Amino acid sequence: KNEVEQSPQNLTAQEGEFITINCSYSVGISALHWLQQHPGGGIVSLFMLSSGKKKHGRLIATINIQEKHSSLHITASHPRDSAVYICAVTGNQFYFGTGTSLTVIP
Amino acid sequence: GAGVSQSPRYKVAKRGQDVALRCDPISGHVSLFWYQQALGQGPEFLTYFQNEAQLDKSGLPSDRFFAERPEGSVSTLKIQRTQQEDSAVYLCASSLVGQGDTGELFFGEGSRLTVL
């Protein structure tokens, strides 16, 4: 049973494209995290949100608590955005999605 | 240091050996988490500390896995009699606040364990 589901699992985009990664969860949460993991690298927290929408540069994260769904958007994608994007939720414990592997082609 | 520090970064062990992985969280962070990440998978929860108390160890896969945080700062994850299926990256994360509160997670670079 996966408490956090992400889609798609893999995504290839051309540079400049608008990208959306989706996350659905089945547990009660106090916060949702979007994390970025580069190949061979550590994990970096991109967003932590419990309602509404947040924006950092070209990245936008939204959450709908009623629908238990969040999306991560990347505008004007760039090859350096290539990474695994992981959705995680904080409830009684932390639950992680399996990640979305994004490749942006020049 | 400024971030979460883990050591060693890489460890190769022969099957049956014991290993110890260290996590030095951000100073003052209350919560500390250990995760196991197999190749191509997302992190899987192992255990959680709030200060020195181990509040949740439900994710530890067997009694060969043991974690401690005796003074509420540095934590050690010990794996006894390692098996090949223990090969993974072991990630440590810390958070300023206790679990259930909305604290941002800070991750270490991970310790990559390879069991031959």
A4-54 pLDDT, tens digit each:
999 999 999 999 999 999 999 998 888 999 999 887 778 888 999 989 999
In this complex, is the C-beta atom of A92 within 8 Å of any C-beta atom belonging to chain B?
Answer: yes
- Cβ proximity of A96 and B42 under 8 Å: yes
Q: Can you give the pLDDT at residue B99?
A: 58
Instruction: Return the pLDDT at B2.
Output: 76
**Chain A contact for B53 (CB, 8 A cutoff):** no
Q: How far is B56 from chain A (nearest CA, A)?
A: 9
Is the pLDDT assigned to residue B7 strictly greater than 60?
A: yes
Hey, what amino acid is at A42? G
Q: How far apart are CA B13 and CA A19, in angstroms?
A: 41
Residues of B in contact with A42 (CB under 8 A): 91, 107-110
Cβ atoms within 10 Å, residue B41: 13
Which of A38-42, A91-95, B64-68: highest mean pLDDT?
B64-68
Residues of A within 8 A of B110 (CB-CB) are 42
Question: What percentage of chain A has pLDDT greater than the value 90?
Answer: 72
Q: What is the pLDDT of residue B39?
A: 84
Is A96 within 8 Å of chain B by CB? Answer: yes
List phi, psi (to 5°) of B85.
Answer: -70, -10
Cβ within 8 Å, pair B105-A45: yes
Using a 10 angstrom Cβ sphere, with 0-12 exposed, 13-18 middle and 19 or more buried, the burial of residue A94 is buried
For residue B87, pLDDT over 90 is answered with: yes
In angstroms, the CA B87 to CA A64 distance is 37
B90 pLDDT band (50/70/90 cuts)?
very high
> Residue B113's pLDDT is what?
97
Least confident of A19-28, B13-22, B40-49: B40-49
pLDDT at B25: 96
- If one counts every other C-beta atom within 10 angstroms of the C-beta of residue B96, the result is 15
**Chain A CB within 8 Å of residue B99 CB:** yes
Query: How far away is chain A from the Cα of B81, in angstroms, using its nearest Cα?
Result: 26
Q: Measuring CA to CA, how many Å separate B56 from each of A6, A19, A25, A82, A85?
A: 25, 36, 21, 34, 26
Establish if A94 touches chain B: CB-CB under 8 angstroms: yes
DSSP 8-state secondary structure symbol assigned to residue A66? T
